[in-house]
Chains A and B, each alone.
Chain A
Amino acid sequence: MEIQGHTNQTITILQKRKRKPLGVGKVILYTFMAIIGFLQIFPLLWLFNYSLLKSGDFFGDTIFQLPSPPQWGNYVSAFTQGNVLPYFFNSVLVTFVSVALTAFVSILLAYAFTRMKWRFSALFMNIILLGMMIPIHATLLPNFIIFNEIGLLNSYWALILPYTAFNIPISMFIVTGFMETIPRSIEEAAVIDGASIWKILFKIIFPITKPAIATISVVNFINCWNEFIMAYTFNTMDQFKTLPFSIVQFVGQYSSNYGAQFAVMSLIAIPSIIMYLIFTDEINKGLMAGSVKG
């Protein structure tokens, strides 16, 4: 404790010393960072700005237009014509079940491939990784036929199953890479203490793997949240539609109600941003862990 307190002190002292003379280097660095930060946040501001414009104001000369007056009606139509609320509920349900299922299966798979010795382990891992190569479009028709046969069209499962299947290969790959970095001696100690495999997996491996899980969960969340091709292929009924359908509600045969579409997009973006903010620290850890492993 004493040592820790001491180091903390030195660090604060160091920071204080450094903060006083604001060198040219620092100024350049901060301006650079500010520009990068602005560029990162700009698309969001832009999205929000456009969601308050009239459709006729789009594609003008200026990139940023002050809405006069702001068309809050766009948001009203997002909720009425765009059905944002029920679709939001469907999106949440489908996305969270898919993400949880993917994470669960990925942990099991990754553990089986990194820790267990079995004959076809390498073969099966490669088969699963092959899944990354399959383009979505190639699966639409076969999946449609299968779902049709077993009566899964127009259900939440018609989305959850393919979403999970598509996300598993890359998720498993990331988790595998992460698990390989965990020292085996931790598990050995647990075994000596009498832990079963399941206990090792959920009491020891899972907490350590959390950064990797957070990473794949956020990536999978965004994938599922924005997915549209499978959604419109497998679901036709209003009660199962997900959020991207809200945008489509404003498409006319030739031109569209762009303002309302941007309002819907602003609403859709909010959960993604929140998810990212919550998990951003874990993601950084997870990404770094992956990068070290290569």
Chain B
Amino acid sequence: MKKRLLMLVSILALSITLAACNSNAKGSENSDGNGTDKGDGSEKVTLNFFTPNPDRETGMGGVEQQIIDSYMEENPHVTIEVEALQDEPYKDKIKIYSSTDQLPDILMTWGQSSFIAPLIDNGLLHELDSAEFEGMGFIEGSFDGFSKDGKLYGVPKNTDFLPLFINKRLFEENGLEPPKTEEELIAVSKQFRDLGINPVVTNGMDGWILPMWFDYALQRETGSFDLMDQALAGDASYTDPAVIDAAAKMKGMVDAGVFAEGFLTADYGTARNLFGQEKAAMYLMGAWEMGLATDENFPESFRENVGVINYPVTDKSEPGDLLAYNGAGYSIAENSEHKEEAVKFLKYFYSSENWPKLVWESGAGMPAQKFDLTGDESQLQKEMVDIFNSLTSASGTPILDESTPEFKETIMSLHQELFTGELTPEEFGEELDAAAQKAREASE
């Protein structure tokens, strides 16, 4: 009996210590949670801000945080709690939040069907009044990706486009000219190969850059970005001879060695560092990489010589036909308790002295709004502005993001299979058509 009693006491003791742990944890949670749930009476407001930029000190995340901090300083009754996860976990958690109706007050969205359409269709995003954001200099058409049936569900933050970065020193020292046409690109790549320098690097492993390149390849073949979208909508077909030709051309360029050896297994960091370490002459990547010119991680000779040019053309297209789109932006959740405060914050965020000015100065990207040049731009940034000002036609959302998430997966892997030779250009067209068909059925 005595022993049994002892045992019982010890078990009791254990469970009490555990329970103590529990109440501690809960206590601290409640004290923090008060602001969100019961803070209305004292006018204190807590806004949850969810973003895929976990680095809060540099780049886009740094600019976000800077604006958030100054907003909280100017509006002491508002607390903004930031939750940040990198890309994939971010998308996973958005799924969890949306299936439990717990979306944070303000969240970053991509104005692309593959991401935002399910959120809009399920009524999870708050409808915004576009008049609130008038006069902030947003680029025409930049709201399109965030709108459905004439209603606005998000505000774009960036203008992204795909140029070709070059290392001027490598070109000059070897007496080569930056390529203006696709033929020149192939020719110059062969010369770089003979010199033992990687021609073009890009992040083939991540997959998304390849269909974006395909947008260019097809545009240079047909002279417009339309065929891609029409085929996706079912008004045309990916078995169109122009698509097959474009696919064959891309495969031909890969076989001719335009891309660095093993580019299909290179991820973002690898590609970027190969270019930054002056081991590659060209870098196919979005305009957001304009920060390369000021990145202290790379040698000075690189920083002074990095330049950017339009993607090479054919006789059917203009250099100003850019793969340009407004990708990321911010939305407000429908279930938010403080929508008005959230809208107020977004208006502050997008005002001309905040986001457009700060993000441009930081070199982390180009805003989706008009902005003033400061005069302190790096050479690379100036060239980037020139390219953007040369715009003659824009592609809008890249093809891979215009449909369902499944379509995105498929089109990315189809490209990889095309380049490894598992698919012929004809099969590539057929498979792509089948995937588009499937995506249309799924979204109906």
Listed in ascending order, the chain A residues whose CB lies under 8 Å from chain B are 54-61, 81, 97, 140-141, 144-145, 148, 151, 154-157, 196, 198-199, 228-229, 232-233, 236-237, 239-240, 248-258
Contacts and interface: CB of A to CB of B under 8 A. Distances in A.
A253 B269 contact: no
B96 A144 contact: yes
Contact of A56 (B33, B87, B298): B298
Nearest to B58: A252
Contacts of B56: 81, 249
A236 B83 contact: yes
A54 B302 CA distance: 15
Contacts, number: 117
Report which residue of B29, B85, B86, B288 has the largest number of chain A beta carbons within 10 angstroms of its beta carbon. B29
9 contacts: A56-B277, A59-B277, A144-B96, A148-B102, A154-B33, A232-B93, A249-B55, A251-B54, A255-B272
B269 A255 contact: yes
Given A156-B25, A253-B59, A55 B297 contact: yes
Contacts of A250: 54-55
A232 B89 contact: yes
Interface string B260-303: 00000000111011101101000000101100000111110000
A125 B297 CA distance: 56
Interface residues of B, number: 54
A58 B297 CA distance: 10
B60 interface: yes
A135 to B, nearest CB: 14
A226 to B, nearest CB: 15
A254 B275 CA distance: 15
Contacts of B55: 81, 249-252, 256-257
Given A198-B3, A253-B52, A256-B55, A58 B273 contact: yes
A24 to B, nearest CB: 42
Nearest to B266: A59
Contact of B269 (A59, A154, A239, A249): A59
Contacts of A255: 268-269, 272
B378 to A, nearest CB: 17
A254 B58 contact: no
B100 A144 contact: yes
Given A81-B57, A252-B60, A255-B268, A59 B298 contact: no
A249 B102 contact: no
Nearest to B328: A253
A248 B83 CA distance: 12
Given A55-B273, A145-B100, A255-B269, 15 more contacts: A55-B297, A58-B273, A59-B270, A59-B277, A60-B277, A141-B100, A156-B25, A196-B4, A198-B4, A232-B89, A236-B48, A236-B83, A252-B53, A255-B268, A257-B58
B277 A249 contact: no
Nearest to B89: A232
Given A56-B298, A59-B270, A157 B86 contact: no
Report which residue of A56, A196, A233 has the largest number of chain B beta carbons within 10 angstroms of its beta carbon. A56
Contact of B268 (A56, A144, A145, A254): A254
A228 B83 CA distance: 15
Contacts of A59: 269-270, 273-274, 277
**Nearest 7 interchain pairs by C-beta:** A56-B297, A155-B25, A251-B86, A59-B273, A59-B270, A252-B59, A55-B297
Contacts of A156: 21, 25
A58 B298 CA distance: 11
B61 interface: yes
B42 interface: no
Contacts of A151: 26, 29
A156 B21 CA distance: 8
Interface in B16-57: 18, 21-22, 25-26, 28-29, 32-33, 48, 52-57
B288 A254 contact: yes
B392 interface: no
Contacts of A97: 18, 21
Contacts of B83: 236
Report which residue of A54, A252, A258 has the largest number of chain B beta carbons within 10 angstroms of its beta carbon. A252
B390 interface: no
Given A97-B21, A233-B96, A248 B54 contact: yes
Contacts of A54: 296-297
A258 to B, nearest CB: 6
B96 A199 contact: no
